[in-house]
Amino acid sequence: MEDSLPLNRCHVEKLQAFINRLQTLLHSTSLAFLFYYRASSFFLHETTIPFFPFLLIFFSETILSFIWFLGIGYRWRPVVRTAFPERLPENDDELPPLDVFICTTDPIKEPTEQVMNTVLSAMALDYPPEKLHVYVSDDGGSPLTLGGLKAASRFARWWLPFCRRYRLKTRCPKQYFSEMDDDDDEDIEFIAEKQMIKEKYKAFKADIMSIRRQDDGSVSGISQDHPSMLEVMEANVAEEASDRVKLPVLVYVRREKRTSHAHHFKAGALNVLLRVSGVMSNAPYFLVLDCDMMCNDPSSAKQAMCFHLDPNISPSLAFVQFPQTFRGITTNDIYDSQHRSAYKVLFKGMDGLEGPLLCGTCFYVKRAALWGNYSTFKDNIDLAQLQQQFGSSNEFIKSLYKNYTPYLVDGTTHALLQQDIKLLASCDYETSSKWGQKVGFLYASVVEDVITGFFMHCNGWRSVFYDPPKAQFMGTAATNLNDLLIQGTRWSFGLIKITLSKFCPLIYGPSNMSLLQRFCCAEMTLFPLYCLPICYLATIPQLCLLHGIPLYPKVSDPYVFIFAFIFLSAQCKHLQEVLTTGGSFRKYINEQRMWMIRSTSCHLYGFLTAILNTLNLKKSTFLPTNKEEEDDDKEQTTTLYQMDKFDFRTSHMFLVPMLVFLSINISCFIGGLCRIVVCQGNYFGDMLLQILISAYGVVVNYPIIEGLVLRKDQGRVPLSVVPSFVALFVIIHVGFLLLLRLF
Ligand SMILES: O=c1ccn([C@@H]2O[C@H](COP(=O)(O)OP(=O)(O)O[C@H]3O[C@H](CO)[C@@H](O)[C@H](O)[C@H]3O)[C@@H](O)[C@H]2O)c(=O)[nH]1
Ligand SMILES: [Mn+2]
């Protein structure tokens, strides 16, 4: 019987788990030796290292080992899942209703055509259209987005029936029409219709362009002050009488924004959508999409339902997270824009424990999982208490107890609705309620995804990570250094904020959360702290080399093997992971380099900003990334990213640390070599590890040297940065000498 077949399967990668555990055992044993070595040499006064370098080295080795230790959980029990959507009930009536939330904010950085493509791809999901509602949140309050949405809704009347009739696999029009034509063996009717739809698509693009032109100027930038607005797109029935295909309801939501009120960025936008959709369709599940993240495969909703409808896991399942995949990623992916490790290793590892955290987009979540500690109010009918939790709208509170209500476009409901919406989307609705603190998406950090995912886990919910062979979603990655480092600064700021808040995973959370799961969550929020040991490792061993201070055991000392082993074991593990997840040796080196660059710039800044923010000295900001793509119409030129060349056109703030650390490595390496020649005795043997560290720093960062001295193109390191980096270089050298004198 079909009924008895499971909807999904979970398979533990046994060999990988074995390799991981073995490496964990060896690595942690050698770390134990390392700490024994450091402690004994310190307490037995055997050490020749001056106090201050010793303190730094000990501190950074401790942080490095601690963060590594927290990451054990990721490698403990990696799993892979499979879903069988064909085993879902054939009758569409049995599928639960589904809402889709799409957030956009900046019509310049997030081109309207692209946002509308995301909207259209979501409307075209392979799901009963009468059960699908698509909500678009426009934080920019832009007429361009509203106009674009109207145009998209008109185009959808043609596009959706076409997708369904021919069962298209690609349901994002832009992508569909840019794919290679191989019309040879297709029937004439199809080709004719395709041509017609293509014309409609062109007209739709032209509509957007004309709104853009009419709007001269006022679209630029994100509006910070505007009233709320709700518009349900008219006529959700397809144009053609032949197949009166129903279309999903499409809703435009503009929440009220006032400069006097914090709006909490994306989390705030999602919470408004949660409330507004609650009084409109109130589907038990919803999909969240960033405006650039289109549905690459129409089947994701049904695949997700294979988990949500599985009676074995469903009661405690909060969300199904798909990986974020990006268009235009090159083989060598110099900046690691795809975040390989997160989506190929870390999430899989957490999936084998209690489940991954959220990553902001591409997830199907159960509405009830966002109501905080559900059990405390489930049987509670005390209105006053509910209002304290959910705010004053009775309509919304009713929705908590009510099942899905399909939204009907008719005059009277509409007028009533407008009133409710005005309240629910107003900027002081959340005052004296628990929105953002216990209910909905949390506000304590700009990485609302990680903190909200963690909070759901704390409330006893579980989650699933599903990475099917075909990418279900496709977005734009930051493929230039500048965007990437700005984004990285925001992320590390947000993550460290979580660590510094009461939600710090090391202390917050129920006692029944497994230790490994807790460690993973802690690692995820703490890892930007790698910036401290990396900054140390990029300067102190090198400067000590220059000044003849050995920090590591001599070659004749057996402990040298411990240090060498720790380094090699970490490197081999990383290399193994890159190779088994489809990367190459060059990808591994690229990731090593990016790890150093990120740590010494954006993670460091994010960390410092988090401290300032916690001390109330700096406000939170959320700069959206650029999502503009090369247009088909424009002349195609290969970007530096595609040529595997660094693009150093970024702010000095990011360039200076890169250059300073590199030049310290180079100068000390050369200085060290000179000393070998000049000095008598065992200098080489005493200093070997430090020589190797500097050499490693130089070799891995070769592209920066190239960008500074060899390259002539516009992406080279700008010469204007030289004075500031040389100044800092000198300051560090002098500072080091001073500290050495003092301590
Ligand atoms: O005030 C804001 C700011 C942003 N957004 C939207 O949030 C989404 C994510 O912004 P983006 O600029 O793409 O940031 P990324 O760093 O690429 O996003 C990642 O990191 C974010 C947390 O920092 C998560 O929310 C995202 O889901 C995740 O993809 C976009 O659709 C924006 O339109 C808003 O709606 N309102
Ligand atoms: Mn993004």
Q: Which tokens in the block code for residue 109?
A: 């950085």
Q: Ligand 1: which atom is nearest the Cα of residue 490? A: 23
261 secondary structure, DSSP code: S
Q: Hey, how many other C-beta atoms are within 10 angstroms of the C-beta on 609?
A: 22
Q: In the prediction, which pLDDT does 383 show?
A: 85
Distances (CA, A) of 150 to 208, 235, 312, 513: 10, 11, 42, 47
Q: In the block, which residue shows the tokens 């043609």?
A: 158
Residue pair 306/135 in contact by the 8 Å Cβ criterion? no
Q: What is the pLDDT of residue 241?
A: 40
Closest CA to 320 of 87, 81, 153: 81
Structural contact between residues 459 and 373, judged by C-beta atoms closer than 8 angstroms: yes
Return the best residue to mutate from 288, 290, 598 for the ligand 1 pocket (most ligand atoms within 8 A of CB): 290
Q: Residue 418: its pLDDT value, please?
A: 83
Q: Give the list of residues 6+ apart from residue 270 with CB closer than 8 angstroms, or none.
A: 101, 103, 137, 288, 440, 441, 448
Q: Starting from the edge strand earliest in sequence, which strands make up the sheet with 363-366, in order?
A: 229-232, 249-254, 132-138, 98-104, 285-290, 363-366, 317-321, 462-465
Task: Give the 3-state secondary structure of residue 257.
Answer: strand
Burial degree of 732 (CB within 10 A; 0-12, 13-18, 19+): middle
Is 139 annotated as a binding-site member? yes
Name the catalytic one among 99, 138, 139, 647.
Answer: 139
Q: Mean pLDDT for each 10-residue chunk of the chain (743 residues)? A: 79 97 98 94 75 89 97 97 94 93 95 96 96 96 94 94 92 90 73 93 94 69 86 64 70 95 96 95 96 97 97 96 96 95 97 97 96 69 86 90 68 73 94 94 97 96 97 94 96 97 93 94 97 95 92 92 97 97 96 97 96 92 84 67 94 95 96 86 86 96 95 93 94 92 82
Sheet with 294-295, side-by-side order of all strands: 294-295, 473-476, 326-327
The two three-digit tokens of residue 454, written as one number: 């963690």
Atom of ligand 1 nearest to the CA of 491: 23
Ligand nearest to the CA of 112: 1
Full DSSP string of 731-743:
HHHHHHHHHHHH-
Question: What's the pLDDT at 1?
Answer: 42
Scan for tokens 């060498």, then name that residue: 564
Q: Check the annotation: does 266 bind a ligand.
A: yes
Q: Hey, what amino acid is at 6?
A: P
Is-catalytic flag, 225?
no
Give every CB contact of residue 711 below 8 A, 6+ residues apart in sequence.
Answer: 645, 717
Question: Which of 420, 449, 483, 647 is flagged as catalytic?
Answer: 449
Cα–Cα distance for residue pair 700/731, rounded to 1 Å: 25
Residue having the nearest C-alpha atom to atom 28 of ligand 1? 360
pTM listed for this prediction: 0.95
pLDDT of residue 218: 58
User: What residue owns the CA closest to ligand 1's atom 26?
Assistant: 360
Give the model confidence (pLDDT) of 267-291 as tens digits: 999 999 999 999 999 999 999 999 9
Tens digits of residue pLDDT in 561-605: 999 999 999 999 999 999 999 999 999 999 999 999 999 999 999
How far is Cα 205 from Cα 315, in angstroms, rounded to an integer? 44
Q: Which two tokens stand for residue 176?
A: 């569909």
Q: How far apart are CA 395 and CA 392, in angstroms?
A: 9
For residue 729, give both structure tokens: 């270089």
Q: Which atom of ligand 1 is nearest to the CA of 288?
A: 27
Q: In the block, which residue shows the tokens 């890892």?
A: 527
Q: What are the distances in angstroms from CA 550 to CA 60, 547, 685, 686? A: 16, 9, 10, 6
Non-local CB neighbours of 74 within 8 Å, separated by 6+ positions: 345, 346, 349, 350, 520, 523
Q: Tell me if residue 428 is catalytic.
A: no
Percent of the chain with pLDDT over 90: 77
Q: Which residues line ligand 1 (CB under 6 A)?
A: 103-105, 110, 137, 139, 265-266, 269, 290-291, 360-361, 446-449, 487, 490-491, 494, 622, 624-625
Angle, alpha carbons 225-233-203 (nearest 5°): 100
